[in-house]
Structure 1
Amino acid sequence: MMSNSSQIVDDRTPVELGFETGSLVLVSVLGVPGNLLVLSAIFLYKKIRTVANGFVFNLAIADLLVCTVVVPMLIPSRIHRKWLFGDDLCVIQGFFNMVTMYSSLFFLSAIAINRLTMIRFPKYYHTIFTPTSSFVIYLALWGLAVLSALAPMIGWGRYKFDTTRDNCLFDRKAAPSYSIFMAIIGISIPILVCAASYMWIWAIFVSNRTILRQLSNDQNIGGTNFSREEVKLTKNLFIIWVAFFVCWAPMTIMLLTDPKGLIARPYYVASVWFLLANSCINPFIYGLTNKHFREGYKNIFVLCKRKLEGNVVHPSPDQQEVMPGHCGQSANTSDLGRQPINEQPDVQPSDVTDMVTASSPCTLQGSIDQRVKSRKLN
């Protein structure tokens, strides 16, 4: 197995080298925190912890792998125009390149089918896309991506260093049949599924323009079973697919039109950057187009700020010493405040329902004490 090639003459200027390297660094610098933010928002923020966003969650994992594994290993190769880490790591790099490509396309297809089911067959949506079935779909898509990427490692072709793109990739000449498999299963079918699904959705929207205008004011409209939020989410996810298509189009066109690699290297370098950049732009699209994602991002920033500041409240000098176990009660707390919990009058369930909306434990304790005092006076 060969991961290196003969010595390459590097005729790049310092400016070209700086631009090629800096653009890759930018992808990682933006992509790592951006995709971590998406994963954290979906995991922590209930409003966007949905079945549909479960596919977005997995897409963000694939993008994070690109930014943390693929790009950092590519930067030294781009600088030196050769692979520096040995044959075994070249194979691993090629494997991750293919896994992230397959998984991204598979999950984009799953997102398109999910949205089409929600819009066209809303009565069956919650039957088909249950949390359990969706989890099985996640695992199946990752499994298919891993198995497809493993094929060159077990004899169906091979991974080697590509001097045109400065990366360890599948050797197209080693196994033409795998190239056909990759072109059909890995690229063509997912793209066609996405295109057909969103065209069908677009046709439904066009035929329901009056209903869509009403959706701007109402949550649900008579004659439909989908909500304004579902329509917005579908439009947002369509934008994600369009961004993916635009970023992947240059490389796809060159692979189809230049099987012998005769196109000038700068065009390949630019197309690789577009392809990788797709992994760092999705978090920004989510934030710009989805209110709930923006709220999730904001909550995470606030949480991080509090963690960094230690979330410590320093009492003023004239504040009285607070007794352990009590909220805001000084040493001269009333007898009622010192009562054991089991001696306090019963609190009705309706009272508890009101009190759990309190913003802090101290507010909750104060609400309890106030109601207890009121009942004692009565």
Structure 2
Amino acid sequence: MLTVTPETTATVLPMVAVNSTTVAAMATDNIGGGGNAITEYTVTITTPVSPVTLQQVSDWSRVARLLLVVGLAVIGSVGNVYMISAVMIEDHLKKRGNVFLVNTAMADLLITGLVMPASAVVILAGLHDSPPVCSFQWFLASLCWLVTVLTIFGTAVENYARLCLSAETYSSFTSGRITAVVLFIWVLSSCAVTAQVFCNLGPDYCTRKFSGLFSYQVTVAVLFVILPTVLTSGFYLRTVLHVRLAKSDPGFKPPVTFSWDYSLMKTNFYSFIMFLIFWSPFGVILSIGNIQKLDARTFYNLAWLALSKSCINNFLYCITNRHFRNAYINLFHYCCCKTTVAFSRRSRGEVARPSGDVRVHIIPGYNMYSYTSPQRARETGGKSSMCKRTAGSSRTSRNNGRDVYQL
């Protein structure tokens, strides 16, 4: 949009810098028919706001916007991979109900691994905007949002059944049924988002146009937003009240696994609250957009605030749950400190080390390790009276032919 505010009738010369927001233009003014005078004009050029590159959304430079998007993508992707891996390697998290947590992390990983890097590629290409990329981001973000909403509801139901119902009732939540529910969530979400985006039934994120059917949007909001939110809150609150009532009984002595499950349930509830905090502002402004025109800067700032939830959710589990925290620490040591982590069990026919062995990497360059454990100490303690202790380290051999240096 080009706006010129002259004080006299003049003709603006073609000396305007198009890339500037406010520039000074020169003009000629015929004064009294006798001569020409040079007059300065202020020309304001309004550049359209880009939801992909964040240009005109923030006052940051191109490099700053690139670092922001890349930083969010890298941190969020690594954290989500850690969250998925934690459920796989931590024994206390290997429960069929935690498949819902993995599904939530997968939805967050799609946002941090595809939506945000797409913006980084457009920024690197030096483009102001890319409508195809914007449409792709809106489709994928809507899909992941709906999957997350339904998965959080499934998590609340599973936590209630695990903590409040009998073991016989909870046994109906088999791994096959939970997997079928997760697949149904993805299929249902894909169909709903595809119909809304390609049939123009919902709001257009890229152009901020709301041309869909109002009755359809109200129905979708009730079925996929309001109803799951209310039911999720109800299941969590009922679970908390049931557990507190059970703990008030002096004769109630739950096993230690019950405390672990209850702690994980509270973490899931915190994740649900954080999801509402990050996505509610954008949902409200999206609803208001059906009635009146909104400021583009505010609209897209709230949209990216909602997307940033996918980068923080995995850290919430690390901070509030000790089993996730222990798994994160082990994964960090494995990835950064070259510590060996065993993912498979030995068969009974194989000769295994004592169960309490700890493998210590002494000198990485020479593949020298030390095996020590309380059991091994007791075994070697009986032999120490029959042999003379040597100075330094002793060299022994193992059945597999590798030399092991024991301290």
TM-score for the superposition, normalised by structure 1: 0.69
Is 1:180 matched up with 2:215?
no
Alignment partner of 1:238 is 2:277: no
1:128 Cα shift?
A: 2.5
Once residues 180 and 36 of structure 1 are traced to their aligned partners in structure 2, the CA distance between those partners, rounded to angstroms, is 36
Correspondence 1:52 to 2:97? yes
Displacement of 1:257 after TM fit? Answer: 3.0
Deviation at 1:95, TM superposition (A): 2.3
Q: Kindly report which structure 2 residues correspond to 1:303-322, keeping only aligned pairs within 5 A, or say none.
A: 303-307=334-338
Find the aligned partners of 2:302 and 2:147 in 1 and give their Cα distance. 20
Partners of 1:359 and 1:39 lie apart in 2 by 25
Alignment match, 2:189: 145
Q: Do 1:31 and 1:67's aligned partners in 2 also have CA atoms closer than 8 Å? A: yes
Match of 2:86 among 36, 41, 45: 41
Tell me, what secondary structure is at the counterpart of 1:162? Answer: coil
1:15 equivalent in alignment to 2:59: yes
Letter in 1 for 2:150: F
More helix per residue: 1
Q: 1:201 aligns with which of 236, 239, 252?
A: 239
Candidates 125, 135, 145, aligned match of 1:101 = 145
Other-structure match for 2:402: none
Shift of 1:65: 0.4
Distance in 2 separating the partners of 1:179 and 1:238: 28
Aligned to 1:271: 302
Q: Does 2:313 align with 1:282?
A: yes
Structure 1 window deviating more from structure 2 (191-200 vs 151-160): it is 151-160
Aligned equivalents of 1:158, 1:78: Cα separation in 2: 28
Distance 1:252 1:234 in 2: 26
Letter in 2 for 1:39: I
The answer to whether the Cα contact below 8 Å between 1:108 and 1:194 also exists between their aligned partners in 2 is yes
Partner amino acid for 2:151?
A: F
Larger radius of gyration: 2
Partner-residue secondary structure (3-state), 2:201: coil
- Residue 133 of structure 1 aligns to a residue whose secondary structure is helix
Question: Quick check: 1:94–1:159 contact (8 Å CA) kept in 2?
Answer: no
1:69-88 to structure 2, matched below 5 A, reads 69-74=114-119, 83-84=129-130, 86=132
Q: Who is 1:113 aligned against?
A: 157
SS in 1 for 2:59: helix
* Residue 170 of structure 2, aligned match among 123, 126, 144: 126
Residue aligned with 2:308, SS: helix
Identity over aligned pairs, percent? 19
Distance 1:173 1:21, change over 3 A: farther
Instruction: Report the number of matched residues.
Output: 311
Give the match for residue 255 of structure 2: 220
Q: Is the 8 A contact 2:282 2:299 kept in 1?
A: yes
Q: What is the CA distance between 1:100 and its match in structure 2?
A: 0.5
Aligned-partner Cα distance in 2 for 1:274–1:84: 21
C-alpha separation in 2, matches of 1:146 and 1:44: 30
State the alpha-carbon separation in 1 of the partners of residues 60 and 355 from structure 2. Answer: 61
Deviations 1:311-363 (A, max 9, x none): 9xxxxxxxxxxxxxxxxxxxxxxxxxxxxxxxxxxxxx9xx899455446996
Contact 1:83 1:161 in 2 (8 A): no
Note the alpha carbon deviations across 1:159-186, whole angstroms, 9 max, x for none.
855245xxxxxx6413445423431232
TM-score by length of 2: 0.64
Distance change >3 Å, CA 232–CA 102, structure 1 → 2? same
Q: What is the alpha-carbon distance in structure 2 between the residues aligned to residue 182 and residue 257 of structure 1?
A: 16
Identify if the C-alpha distance between structure 1 residues 304 and 25 changes in structure 2 by more than 3 Å, giving closer, same or farther: closer
- Seen in structure 2, the aligned counterparts of structure 1 residues 363 and 209 have a Cα distance that, compared at 3 Å, is closer
Cα drift, residue 108 of structure 1: 0.6
- Determine whether 1:190 maps to 2:235: no
Per mean C-alpha deviation after superposition, the further-off stretch among 10-19 and 191-200 is 10-19
Q: Root-mean-square deviation (CA), in Å? A: 4.0
